[in-house]
Amino acid sequence: MAEETDALVAMTRILSPHCHVTRMSSGVLISDWRRRTRFLGMTTTDVQKFVVGSSEERAELVTDLIRAGCATACRKAYSDAEVGLWLRGVHLSIRTMGFGRVLRLLSLAAPVCARTDLPSGEEVARLKRALRSHGRRSWFVNDDCKAEAVTAFVLLRRCGLNAVLHIGVREHPFAMHAWSSSAGVCIPDADPRGHGFTPVLSISCGGQ
């Protein structure tokens, strides 16, 4: 029962908000209510592959869902120029709307996409280098950890990678720090200049 529930959660995460997943006696029914009403059935065996199947089996299922129009394929990466534009846009949003309001909008800016291959630490590290470069040489952004963390979270989620946005504090002297983590890489560093921060808020799954 637990594995079946995990499988339904995994499928709902991939297909939401485009489609609704309903448990059936012989599997699940995927309902697509966007442009025209469509229904797609999946057997219990295929549903279980989302949890206990190999990466190749899961990739095949996700590919079939994308072809059926139920899931959205994700782009692989953003160019260096696009990363810079996103970073400046996020920084401007934080300055005009406030950090808290930007966090509440993450579910819209960072949707969950379907991805058929496994995440790569090198891909995340490449994004980290691009953000660090833009953040340090831009007088507008001025090495802002909040802007870098939110930008990283949004771009990673839009590329189909699991990411968690952390907000941490330090008591003596008091300070706040933000960073995103994915595939074992933190953007920016979780402990800048060797100072540790205790996470007080963590956001994953597109802000949910």
Segments making up each domain of the chain, as ranges: 2-67, 80-204
Q: pLDDT tens digits, residue range 91-129?
A: 999 999 999 999 988 877 776 665 555 567 888 899 999
- Segment 61-77 shows an average pLDDT of 69
pLDDT at 97: 92
Mean pLDDT along residues 69-93: 81
CA atoms of 3 and 1, how far apart (whole Å) = 5
Cα separation, 129 vs 185, in Å, equals 11
Cα–Cα distance list, 81 to 73, 78, 130, 188 (Å): 22, 8, 9, 19
